[in-house]
Structure 1
């Protein structure tokens, strides 16, 4: 016999909204409970109600929308130039043995150098400017993207390349119709990973060299001891990235892998 509440739970389990927000319910409840019990001093730890009040104040004064717009503008420039550099460079390194021999040690070296390590010299070069933040984001995006593309090209079944050449396909057609589609799953994963790194680099750069933006807002709030504004900045960053990943990056990666990854697996099985 089915319990009276079972159909409701089943409907909730099938609901995308419930699956998305459900895991946050116990986290927010624990957060509220800790604040209510005042286990930590209010100057160091505030509850969700205080953060919501802070949100209302920043929206009313227009501070949060302005900072958010600045952060998204910097991210847009960083992603644009990161993709314009990383995509062609990745295919060049992956397709050319000479380019790979010349650049592979450099790629591994700079991949290991954290983006935040560039900030002191970037400040000297560009000052506290949009160029400085964009440089850090581009640097963070390019190297994971290039390495993912190279790995994707290596996974293209050689049988497909030989079959295309045996049928008279030119090198350009082999690249466009075999190499690019076969490497797209790794390209999609590289774009998603690179943008994730770029998002974190944006926050770090705004904290250190920014004069506006969500990262700067959090750092400035720390300076005056406004813990609620710091919590709010963290929540805004998490929500924005979750929305970007769930609405754009994850569907793009899933669709790409579903379309081309299965083709590649089937070809490899043959």
Structure 2
């Protein structure tokens, strides 16, 4: 049992086993009508059929294109803007209330006016994703810069480092763990914003597929969509985002410091 508990595959998939078993039992007992609740076997069959017909790959490709377009623009805007706000007293003073204000407005609240501005287009979905990513990323960067020890900054200046060298050699490395966390959080928000936008204004994509199946009274594609979304995000987070955040934190000593303290 101890060896199984240390197996990474078992630790990852183990928690899902009772969920799938319970799902199968509920479906077999027909607690809910089969038209409203299907079992794992029906979902697997539907998944295979959608792969065979090329429907799922096409929708998934559209969703990934929209996501990465929004992510790229979100990072290009959010990272420089976050450091500007963090490093400038006046920029912080003038923009901080705006950051908190817009951070509190859900991305889905923008969809009605975005439709008026851009119609049912890639630009509309990209706008929503960028909006969702930028503000939590900027706030994380500001928090990261504030956590850089002032003694380190003063030491660099006493050794002759100018403002630019202090920024590139002290501030940026010290804030990188917060940047990594902000990117991870922002992408999570952006992922959900993508699906919400596709459901409401999309003409293709996983979100559109799920909503279109609902309108047709078919629940199986909805189950397929939800599972695909969960698996994709889990894989992205486990294989890319979490290692990136962990390696960034370890690189700048946060984890080692905590271990020494224990």
Q: TM-score higher than 0.5 here? A: yes
Query: What SS does the corresponding residue of 1:93 show, helix, strand or coil?
Result: helix
Query: What SS does the corresponding residue of 2:252 show, helix, strand or coil?
Result: helix
Please tell me the root mean square deviation across aligned C-alpha atoms, in Å.
1.4
**1:138 corresponding residue in structure 2:** 130
Under a length normalisation based on structure 2, what TM-score does the superposition of the two structures give?
A: 0.97
Distance 2:254 2:85 in 1: 25
Structure 1 gap ranges (5+):
1-8
CA positional deviation for 1:57: 1.0
**1:78 corresponding residue in structure 2:** 70
**1:202 corresponding residue in structure 2:** 194
CA positional deviation for 1:262: 2.4
Query: What SS does the corresponding residue of 1:45 show, helix, strand or coil?
Result: coil
CA contact (8 A) 2:249 2:255 kept: no
Distance 1:47 1:20 in 2: 22
Q: Which of 257, 262, 265 in structure 1 is aligned with 2:249?
A: 257
Deviations 1:155-192 (A, max 9, x none): 00000000000000011110011000111111111000
Under a length normalisation based on structure 1, what TM-score does the superposition of the two structures give?
A: 0.94
Aligned residues: 259
CA positional deviation for 1:10: 2.9
CA contact (8 A) 1:116 1:204 kept: yes
Structure 2 gap ranges (5+):
none
**2:37 corresponding residue in structure 1:** 45
CA positional deviation for 1:12: 1.8
Distance 2:135 2:203 in 1: 27
CA positional deviation for 1:264: 10
CA shift in 2, pair 1:205/1:154, >3 Å: same
**1:3 corresponding residue in structure 2:** none
**1:19 corresponding residue in structure 2:** 11
Distance 1:47 1:218 in 2: 17
**2:90 corresponding residue in structure 1:** 98
CA contact (8 A) 1:54 1:228 kept: yes
Distance 1:189 1:52 in 2: 35
**1:240 corresponding residue in structure 2:** 232
CA positional deviation for 1:16: 1.0
Deviations 1:39-69 (A, max 9, x none): 0011110000000111011011100000000
Q: Which of 172, 180, 185 in structure 2 is aligned with 1:180?
A: 172
Distance 2:116 2:192 in 1: 22
CA positional deviation for 1:152: 0.4
Distance 1:114 1:264 in 2: 37
Distance 1:173 1:36 in 2: 66
Q: Which of 2, 21, 26 in structure 2 is aligned with 1:10?
A: 2
